[in-house]
Amino acid sequence: FQKSMAGVVAEETGRGTIGVVVLDQQGHLAVGTSTGGKGFERIGRVSDSATPAGNYANSLAAVSCTGIGEDILDEALAARIVVRVTDGLPLAAAFEKSFQEAVTRQRDFGAIGLDHQGAIAWGKTCDVLLAAYWDGTTIGDTLELPAGLQVGSRNPLS
């Protein structure tokens, strides 16, 4: 991040999720999500990051999620978005539909995604989602998004 706000948010909370979605030169997608959780989780609890609900990719799309794990699990958010892309919905539309549904159920989370053509999308229903991207030409981030339901996208082909 090039804006100082990213450091302030990260330092104030002292915790968070690191998610990454990548498309390599051969057209392969990959996703990874690492989180320490919010603390005081029950022993044996499996986080959303370890499941397709919070971290999922196939040959057409990849999505990484952050937020309240139980909300992400209930929505099967990453898998839901990827399945919608697999069924023919553009990535940005899959994010928009999934996040609109989540808002009606008062979910608290965010996600980043990438499709096999290099389209980038992100969304959040919470106050903070820091996401940065590099599409081979442009570096950008989501720091300017206001709180509440927000879905953004960038299509390097347009």
Which CATH number is 108's domain given? 3.60.20.30
In this prediction, residue 1 has a pLDDT band, given cuts at 50, 70 and 90, of very low
Token pair for 67: 């937020």
Is pLDDT at 107 greater than 70 in this prediction? yes
Side chain identity at residue 74, one-letter code: D
Cα gap 40→110, rounded to integer Å: 21
Q: Is residue 127 part of a domain?
A: yes
Nearest to residue 84, comparing CAs of 92, 30, 67? 92
> Can you give the pTM of this predicted structure?
0.80
Q: Is residue 53 part of a domain?
A: yes
CA distances from 79 to 55, 61, 89, 131 (A): 8, 10, 14, 19
Q: Is residue 158 part of a domain?
A: no
Structural domain harbouring 26: 4-37+46-153
Q: Total structural domains in the chain?
A: 1
Catalytic positions, written as ranges: 17
